[in-house]
Structure formats: structure tokens, C-alpha cells
Structure 1
Amino acid sequence: MFLVEMFQRKTTMPTRAEALAGRPDPIETAPAHAVNGRALKGPFPGAMEIAYFAMGRFSAAEKLFWPLEGIHVTAAGYAGGFTPNPTYQDLMTALTGHTETVMLVFDPARIGYRTLLEIFFERHDPTQSMRQGNDIGTFFRSAIFTTTQLQREQAEAALDAYQEALAAAGHSGRIVTAITPATEFYYAEANHQQHAVKNPNAQSGLKGTGVAFPKQA
């Protein structure tokens, strides 16, 4: 019974009233990206756009994007919840409402948002609810936080296209990825930024469905 209750608590979103109080000031994070040396926080140069993806462990997700041409900087953090300025320990209680999220600052003239969406849908399992593989909890849920109306339209179209691809491939799962406007993004602690390059032998919890994202005609 205890294990059942623990599982239910970890996989049930808290209400605002249930959420931890948090703190008024941001927690300390790294000043610069561990791979390219660029500042993690803005203002960012030129006509950069920002995308936010939650697809399981941010340590595994972040490393999928920082090598891409057109990505200015990436960062790990917390989004989609209630608690202001949460810590990683706060997150693990499942009482903040946040999910582990990767922030991508990108140049749309060099890499399109659709390309980022393709990686998002292919490289994790968007049909898994409140988990990715053995990583279980609301803080591992799949989500896209959009920063513009165009991003929202593209994300919704991409979800529909990938759902059709899954069905055509005989995959019975329904995509549970939430698509909502971005609110506050809280940077994770310094040790979580670019974690994969600091810990190259760390296990990656991400595993896609094996179904390719459909190519544009």
C-alpha cells in the first residue's frame, strides 16, 4: 500500500494550494555554458528565439541539442509548475508542479523550429504519461512550452503528424505531450547544467519509439 501511495503521489499533479512555497530569489546556477562558454542568461544576441522542451531527464535531453548548427545556448531548468525558484530537491517531492525542461536559444535563420520538434518527438516517447522509461514522476512528463503563436501552431501540427506516423507504424499509444504557452523558466543548479559533458558515463533515460518523424513533402 505504501508503494502504491508513493507512486500515485509522484504521478499526480499537485494543485496550486498543495504546491511548495518556494523562495523569493533565484537559486544559483552556472554563469556560462560548459561546452561553448556562452552566457546562460540573456539578453541574447540578434534575432534569437527561445524554445522549451520537457522530455524526461534534462541531462539526457540537453545534450541532443547543443551540438546542432544554429543553437546559440542550452540550459537545464524547471517549468510548468507553481513553486517559485524551486530547487532540484523541491522538484523531487512532486509538489512543485514543474517538469525537467531544456531551454534552447536558437537562430531561426539557421535552424527551424520544426527541426527541433522532430528531435523532440523522435528522441523520447511522447506516449508515456508522467514518466520516461524507469524515470517516474510528474517532473518527467512530456511537454512543449511555446513562446509565440507560430510555435504553438507548429507544435500542434507536429504532434498531429507524429500521431499519424505512430498509427501508420502500428504503435497503439496516444501522444500525451502537453502544449502550453511558456510561463516562468527557472534555471537548475550549476551541477545540472550540461551534466552530460561533465559526467560522460551517466545513464541516459531517454528512448524513442523507433518511429521516424514524417518528412515534409
Structure 2
Amino acid sequence: MTLFSRTSGSLPGRDTPIETSETHTVNGNALKGPIPDGFEEIVLGMGCFWGVERLFWQMPGVHVTAAGYAGGETPNPTYDETCTGRTGHTEVVRVVYDPDKVSLATLLRTFWEEHDPTQGNRQGNDIGSQYRSAIFVTTEAQREQAEQSREAYQKALDEQGKGRITTEIYPLDRFYYAEGYHQQYLDKNPGGYCGLKGTGVTCAIG
């Protein structure tokens, strides 16, 4: 499935995954372990993945998070390749969560409120298709709820004179893990860059 069209050719990527971490540095859970029974997975793009990952690993009910790439064509891309805009991928965070402890509505409300989904191929000073807003769902129920939440938030934005939402909502095709140094980056570098900035408009769901 191609989610992003470009006039230039896609980078070829590679057949094998790039090296990354095995363990979440904050909670010790396996970064790529099997999803526990009854848990769910959703993949979210909100700009630079460093701050996004920290946002979600701090939420009660989230089992594990991981920084990575999704939505494009290049298999097993590197960070440098993704930054060229020729992979089609956007920076994303994989969120595995326990729906008995944190609802999808809560995750989606956090998603909408903590970044600006109206900016297209950018978040603030971070410019490029790799920073576009996206939700990659893994179930039909997630897709329906994500689309309903987008409609609800657009209504709230309209009432405040804000712009149109550009967020993509697609079924997750492939999630590629980012390099190890990107995983839980702001745990390893507490003073590091975080570009998250919302619109100030409340998302009244959940």
C-alpha cells in the first residue's frame, strides 16, 4: 500500500532491519516483544518522535513505546534516508496499550491536543514530509474511532477559527523501528529537543 506520492523515486532501502534497541529504557519491557493478550497497538505521527514517545510512555496503561517510521515505500529506512523525504515515511511512535487501563479515546485526545494537526508537512520549525501528522490503526474499530475523533476535533478547531486538519488515517502496513539512539531519546537525554506544541484547542472526547 502506497500512502505517500512523490515525483522523485523512492530510496531502495534494504532487505534486513536496521539495528535498534531490544529493551525499553524506562520500563524495561521488550521493545519488540509480542503484544500481551488483550492489549492493542496504534502508531501515531505528531512530528519529531522524541517528544511524542515521552508523551505516551508517561501515560498509565501504556505497555511499551517505540520510535520508528511508517507510511512510506522504502523498506527498513534509516533516519538519514527518512529525512531526505524520499522514503515516503513519517516519524511515528508505536504505542502498545492496555485498553482496560487507558482508553483509545484518551490516547486520541492526547494525540489531537498535543500537536498541531493542521500544518501539513511540518510541525513548527520541523519542516518536511517526515513530520506530517498521521494515525496508523490496527483494527477497524480504531479506524472508526479515529475518524470520528478527527471530525469532532475539526469542529472544535472551526469554532476557534483554526485551520483544516491534514492528519492521515490509514491501516498500518509496516512499522519500522528507528535506530537505537532514537529509542527513549529524552530519557537518555532529558534536556534534549522536544518540538511538541498544540493548538490550545480542547478535544472533547473520552
For Structure 1 versus Structure 2, the TM-score category normalised by the shorter chain is over 0.9
Instruction: Return structure 1 stretches of 4+ with deviation > 2 angstroms.
Output: 12-15
> 1 CA distance for matches of 2:54 and 2:74?
26
- 1:13–1:135 Cα change, 3 Å: farther
Aligned pair partner of 2:134 in 128, 143, 147: 143
Structure 2 counterparts to residues 7-86 of structure 1, below 5 A: 13-14=5-6, 18-86=9-77
- 8 Å CA contact retained: 2:15, 2:76: yes
Question: Is 1:205 paired with 2:195?
Answer: yes
> 1 CA distance for matches of 2:160 and 2:129?
28
- 8 Å CA contact retained: 2:85, 2:130: yes
Query: How far does residue 69 in structure 1 lie from its aligned partner after superposition?
Result: 1.1
Match of 1:95 in 2: 86
- 8 Å CA contact retained: 1:77, 1:188: yes
Which secondary structure state, in structure 2, belongs to the residue aligned with residue 73 of structure 1?
strand
- 8 Å CA contact retained: 1:13, 1:94: no
Structure 2 counterparts to residues 119-198 of structure 1, below 5 A: 119-171=110-162, 173-198=163-188
- 1:158–1:215 Cα change, 3 Å: closer
Aligned length: 203
Query: How far does residue 44 in structure 1 lie from its aligned partner after superposition?
Result: 2.2
What is the CA RMSD across the aligned residues, in angstroms?
A: 1.3
> 1 CA distance for matches of 2:26 and 2:58?
9
> 2 CA distance for matches of 1:161 and 1:86?
34
Query: How far does residue 168 in structure 1 lie from its aligned partner after superposition?
Result: 1.4
Aligned pair partner of 1:116 in 104, 107, 111: 107
Larger radius of gyration: 1
Q: TM-score, normalised by structure 2?
A: 0.95
Which secondary structure state, in structure 1, belongs to the residue aligned with residue 22 of structure 2?
coil
- Matching residue's letter, 2:182: H
- 8 Å CA contact retained: 1:33, 1:74: yes
Structure 1: gaps (5+ residues):
1-11
> 1 CA distance for matches of 2:200 and 2:61?
26
- 8 Å CA contact retained: 1:14, 1:96: no
Structure 2: gaps (5+ residues):
none
Q: Deviations over 1:137-194 (max 9, x none)?
A: 00000000010100000000000000011111232x0000010110100000000000
Q: What percentage of residue pairs aligned between the two structures are identical?
A: 56
Match of 1:214 in 2: 204
Query: How far does residue 215 in structure 1 lie from its aligned partner after superposition?
Result: 4.1
- 8 Å CA contact retained: 1:13, 1:138: no
- 8 Å CA contact retained: 1:79, 1:101: yes
- Matching residue's letter, 1:61: V
Query: How far does residue 133 in structure 1 lie from its aligned partner after superposition?
Result: 0.3
Which secondary structure state, in structure 1, belongs to the residue aligned with residue 94 of structure 2?
strand
- 8 Å CA contact retained: 2:134, 2:167: yes
- 8 Å CA contact retained: 2:149, 2:205: no
